[in-house]
Amino acid sequence: MAEVAILKGTPYSLPSEASGSLDELRSRLHIVRTDLQKALESARRMGLVREMDRAHGYSSVFESNSIEFEGPDLAGTVEVIESDTGQRVLRDLNINLLPEVLQKDRRAFAAIGLETARVLALRYIGGDVRGLCQSDVRSLHGVLMAGEWFAGRYRQFDAAISGSDHAPYPTYEIPFAMAELCDWSQGPVEGDLAVLRAAVGHAWFTHVHPFQDGNGRVGRLIANVLLGQDGLPPAIVKARSQRSRYIAALAHSDEGGDIMPLVGLFLKTIERYVSELQRPKAFKRLFDQLVARRGSSYFDWYRNSLSDFMSRLSSELELFGLRLTLLDELSQEVFADLRGGQRQTVMTALITDGDGQDLVLYQRPPSTAARNRFSADERVPTVAFALPNEQWKLEPYRRTKRADLDGLADFWVQPDQPTSVFIDGRAVRSHSVADGASLLAEQIRRGFARRFELPPRYFDSARWLPKIHGGPG
C-alpha cells in the first residue's frame, strides 16, 4: 500500500493487509466526530459540560493509576483531589507542595500528582500547537513524580519492564530517541487518522521507556494530548475491564510492530466516551453513585455467581489438559453499560492447551436469546468466545463461528435460586452450574482437538497475557 504519511519517521509501517483496517478507522472516526459535536451541544444546553469534564477527568486519573496498581479507589481519588491540599496544588500548579503529600500519603500523592500533570497536559492542547517537545514531556514527568529524585530526568540506569520480554533503550540512546519522537509529533497529520497518531506516539514512548518510573502514566497523557490536539476526547483505558487487552496491544506493537490492536483499543475508548456524552444525566448519576461507594446487590450477586461458575469450568477443563486463566474483571459501571446494550467487551478469561492454541472468553451485551427470556432488570452480560485474528486488524481476536466449538455460540450465568447456566448451542438450554461447566468443557475440548480455524500467527501474543503482573511503567 502507499506509505501512510503519518508513519514517516516512526519505527512503524503498515503493509497492504492493513488497508481495510485504515478504511474502517476513517469511517468510524468520521462518525465519532459527528456524534461528538452533537453530544457536546446537547450537554451544553443541559449545563452539564463542566460536570462531565470533571467526572471524566477524575475517572482518567483513577483508571491510569489503577493500571499501575497505584493510587486510591475512585471515591478516594475524588476526595484527595478536592481536598484543600489538592486544590492548593492545582490552583497554581504548585508542585512544591507535592513532596509533603508524598511523605504523608503515597496513594494521595499518586492521585494529586497525576491530576496536576493532567491539568498541565491540557495546556498543550489548543491553538496551532502540534505535538510535544522534550521539555514538555519532562515537565509532565516532573509534576507526576514531584518529590522523587528522578522527577523530570531521563533514566540513568538500564531497566527492565515487569512481565515483558522487551528490553528498553539503553540510557545513552534515550535523548536521541526522544528527539526523534518529539520531532515527529510536531509534524502535520491527517485528521482522519488521528487515533493512529496517538497510538503511535504512545507505543513509541513506552517502547523507549525513558524514565525510571511513571512511563505508562506519562505515555497515556501523551496519547491524550495528541488526541486533544486533533479535536478528540481522551482515551481512558479501564483498569479492571481493559487492562489485559491494553497490555497485550502494547506487546503486539513491541514484539511484532503491529500497531493496529492499540489503535482499535483507543478507538473503542473514544467511542465509549462519546456514548457517555450522549447520555450525560445517566453517566453523571452513575459516576456519583460510584464515588459514594453505593453497591449494587444484583451486580455483586452476578459477579459471585460468575466467579463460582468459572472456578467450576476451570476444574472441568483441567481434566482435558486445558488451562483457564482469568483476565479482566467487570466493574459496576461496565456491568450497567453492558446490561443496557452499550457496545463494549471485557476479556474475561484465556484458555490454553500448552500447544500454542488459545481461546478467549469475553463478556458482551446480552444476546437476543437472553433479552427474549429476561426483563431488563434481570439481564446479565453474555459470555462469547474469540480466536486470534489475522495480523493488522483493529481487533486482535475474532468471534468464533459455531463450527469452531461444535455448535456452541455463547452462554450466560443467570443469578437465581439456584444459579442457572444458559448455553446457546444448537438450541438455548438451561443447566445447573455443574452440568453447564461439564458440557461447556466438553465442547471446548472438541474445538481444541480440531485446532479450530486459526490464521497463521507471526508471534504468540496471547501467550503473553497470563504473564501480566506489572504495566508499561
Q: How far is CA 222 from CA 117, 167, 182, 226, in A?
A: 11, 21, 11, 6
Q: How confident is the model at residue 453 (pLDDT cuts 50, 70, 90)?
A: low
Burial code (b: 16+ CB inside 10 Å, e: under 16) for 208-230 equals bbbbbbbbbbbbbbbbbbbbbbb
> How far apart are alpha carbons 181 and 468 in whole angstroms?
27
Higher pLDDT, 465 or 421: 421
Q: How confident is the model at residue 293 (pLDDT cuts 50, 70, 90)?
A: low
Q: How confident is the model at residue 165 (pLDDT cuts 50, 70, 90)?
A: low
Task: With a cut of 90, say whether residue 157 has pLDDT above it.
Answer: no
> How far apart are alpha carbons 387 and 462 in whole angstroms?
10
Provide DSSP, 434-459.
HHHHHHHHHHHHHHHHHTTTPPP-SS
**What pLDDT score does 107 carry?**
87
* H-type alpha helices, 340-468: 368-373, 433-450
Higher pLDDT, 221 or 401: 221
Least confident piece of the model among 157-171, 260-274, 316-330, 451-465? 451-465
Question: What phi and psi, each to the nearest 5 degrees, are found at residue 398?
Answer: -115, 145
What is residue 7's DSSP assignment?
A: G
* Domains of the chain, residue spans: 5-290, 296-465
Residue 258 and residue 391 in contact, taking contact as beta carbons nearer than 8 Å: yes
Rg (CA), the chain: 23
Provide the greatest CA pair distance for the chain.
65
> How far apart are alpha carbons 306 and 314 in whole angstroms?
12
> How far apart are alpha carbons 284 and 114 in whole angstroms?
22
Nearest to 465 by CA among 336, 352, 337: 352
Determine which helix (DSSP H) or strand (DSSP E) holds 325, and give its type and residue range.
strand 323-326
Q: How confident is the model at residue 333 (pLDDT cuts 50, 70, 90)?
A: confident
Assign 411 to helix, strand or coil: strand
- The residues pairing with 349 across neighbouring beta strands, listed in sequence order, are 326, 361
Over range 205-230, report the average pLDDT.
95
Cell of 12: 512503524
> How far apart are alpha carbons 149 and 9 in whole angstroms?
33
Q: How far is CA 205 from CA 179, 182, 225, 410, in A?
A: 11, 10, 13, 38
Q: How confident is the model at residue 470 (pLDDT cuts 50, 70, 90)?
A: low
Of all residues in the chain, the percent with pLDDT exceeding 90 is 57
CATH topology of domain 5-290: Fic-like fold (1.10.3290)
* Alpha-carbon torsion (235, 236, 241, 247), positive or negative: positive
- Predicted structure pTM score: 0.83
Q: Is the peptide bond before 72 cis (omega within 30 degrees of 0)?
A: no
- The residues pairing with 325 across neighbouring beta strands, listed in sequence order, are 350
Residue 180 and residue 117 in contact, taking contact as beta carbons nearer than 8 Å: no
> How far apart are alpha carbons 238 and 96 in whole angstroms?
30
